[in-house]
Amino acid sequence: MQNLSSMDSLSPELAEMAQAHIDYEVERWTGEGLTASLQTELAAALDHLATVRIKDVLTADAVEQALDLALASPEDFPLADLASIGFAAVQRVVGQSESGLSDVMSRADYDRLVGAFIELKQIQRVLIEQVTASKAYSELISHVLYTGIKNYVLNQSVVARRVPGASSLMRMGQHALSSAAPNMEKSIDRQLVGFVNANIQDSVRESRQYLATALDPELIRAVAGEFWDSNAEQPFSGAVGLVSGDSVSAIAEAVADIAEAVRSSPAARDLLLALSRDFAANHADESVTDYLNSIGVTQARLEAVIAQWAPTLSAASADYVAERIRVEILGFYLAWAELP
Nearest residue to 264 (alpha-carbon basis) of 74, 62, 84: 74
- The pLDDT of residue 253 is 87
Listed residue (229, 232, 226) closest to 104, CA to CA = 232
pLDDT tens by residue, the chain, 340 residues:
344 446 778 888 999 999 999 999 999 999 999 999 999 999 999 999 999 999 999 998 998 998 888 888 776 778 778 888 888 888 888 888 889 999 999 999 999 999 998 888 888 888 888 988 888 888 888 888 878 777 766 665 454 555 555 445 444 555 554 555 556 556 666 776 777 777 788 888 888 888 888 888 898 899 999 999 999 999 988 888 788 878 888 888 888 888 888 888 899 999 999 999 999 999 999 999 999 999 999 999 999 999 999 999 999 999 999 999 999 999 999 888 887 6
Q: Give the pLDDT score at 176.
A: 52
Alpha carbon 34 to its chain centroid, in Å, reads 35
Looking at residue 178, its pLDDT comes to 55
- Measured CA to CA, the distance from residue 220 to residue 117 in angstroms comes to 9
For residues 88, 90, 93 and 94, what is the CA-based torsion angle, rounded to 10 degrees?
-120
Q: What is the pLDDT of residue 158?
A: 54
- For residue 222, the model assigns a pLDDT of 94
- Under 8 Å between Cβ of 143 and 130: no
pLDDT of residue 84: 84
Write down the number of H helices and E strands in the chain: 19, 0
**What does the domain layout of the chain look like in residue ranges?**
1-52+287-340, 121-216
Q: Tell me, what amino acid is at 241?
A: G
pTM of the entire predicted model: 0.67
CB 15 within 8 A of CB 4: yes
Given a contact cutoff of 8 angstroms between Cβ atoms, the answer to whether 114 and 224 are in contact is: yes
Distances (CA, A) of 331 to 15, 69, 190: 12, 34, 94
Which residues does 75 contact at the CB level (< 8 Å), separation at least 6? none
